[in-house]
Structure 1
Amino acid sequence: MRHALQQDDPDIFFTNTAMGQRTLYIDGAQAMQEWEKPLMIRSGELVVRQGSEFLECGLGLGLSALAVAGAQNTTRHTVVERYQPVIDEFQKTHPSLPATLDIVQDDFFDYIERLPDESVDGIMFDPWLPKEIRDDESWWTEVIGQMIRVMRPGAAFVPFFSTTNELWPRFAPRFRTVLVEPHPFTAYPTTSYTEGTSGTAYIQCFIK
């Protein structure tokens, strides 16, 4: 189910400013920044609402991965990351990882097709995708179907937060219950992927 336009070897690098502002760049675009930490931790807390086995699409800076893996009820948290430089940077900055955390270098959209039905208790979903893929609705229909297939009844699905006050339209119709939490945020002055650099971010948790 890997998208034909997904790149195998994009340009990946990390920056750290003197003010402690850390950013992951993929092909010159901001993919994730350290200021997101409170939002990612809370997202992870919602993923682990029930059960003990969890799955994550995209490692990024590892903020939610550590939150999910460190939850009291977690026995295994599998993070699927396509790009080895992202894994290498995370392991360099976090040499001692929770025993519950399993990082797999693979394409998430291929990986999920190989999972058994109803095999995970929650999914954290925050991949970096180029615009051409983000806009491919027929592909998304298939991807969401696969994620729902592997989720157990009552499992939580938490995608990337939004800075606009609206439900994710491609996710909401497919789930039984939707929880929405508003949280204040302050991004970096140079952040380009949010609606403004401060305001309210919305974490949406979809329950199967």
Structure 2
Amino acid sequence: GIGQRSFTWSAGECDVLAILGQPVMESWESPYMIAMAKSVCAVGGRILEVGFGLGISAAAIDSFPDVVEHVIFEANEQVCGQAGLWSDGAARPTTVYQGFWQDLVDDFPPESFDGILFDCFPLTAAHYRDGANRL
């Protein structure tokens, strides 16, 4: 499927993630990702993260003691594998689901999450519009 080829994850440094030759996330985005996580986790509870990337926001979410559960949706199979490895050492209960958020979100009842961090790589501009409407 789309997003399954041409995966690059800089070994050891994890400073850039490229999928299909497109830069998806770079380490310089850390302050922004951490600020988003702080905002999303303000009330604690159950947090949904759409798009794992380099795991910057995941690590930030995991650091908030009021987060009781962290759910991650990741479309790319290889990035999902990295997210799964990361979740093994997470401080909070963390579950990683592989697939597009549009296919996964309907498996959860409305208002299942107290905060949603939406930072997936858009395939089209409609992706963002759909996210705003459905999440």
Q: If the TM-score is normalised by the length of the shorter chain, which range does it land in? A: 0.7 to 0.9
Question: Could you say what the CA RMSD is over the residues aligned between the two structures, in angstroms?
Answer: 2.4
Of 6, 25, 29, which residue of structure 2 is paired with 1:11?
A: 6
Q: Output one character per residue of 1:38-79: Cα deviation in whole Å (capped at 9) or x when no partner.
A: 221121010011140110110001110121122110000101
- Count of matched residue pairs: 135
Of 98, 108, 113, which residue of structure 1 is paired with 2:101?
A: 108
TM-score by length of 1: 0.57
* Aligned equivalent of 1:143: 131
In structure 2, relative to structure 1, the CA distance for the partners of 1:114 and 1:94 (3 Å cut) is: closer
Q: Output one character per residue of 1:169-199: Cα deviation in whole Å (capped at 9) or x when no partner.
A: xxxxxxxxxxxxxxxxxxxxxxxxxxxxxxx
Structure 1 unaligned residues grouped into runs of 5+: 1-5, 148-208
Structure 1 vs Structure 2: percent identity of aligned residues? 24
Q: C-alpha distance in 2, partners of 1:69/1:93? A: 11
* Aligned equivalent of 2:82: 89
Structure 2 unaligned residues grouped into runs of 5+: none
Larger Rg: 1
TM-score by length of 2: 0.84
User: Which one has the bigger helix percentage?
Assistant: 2
Query: Any residues of structure 2 matched to 1:18-29 within 5 Å, and which?
Result: 22-29=15-22
**Higher RCO (CA 8 Å, separation ≥ 6 residues):** 2
> Would the aligned equivalents of 2:14 and 2:54 in 1 still touch at CA under 8 Å?
no
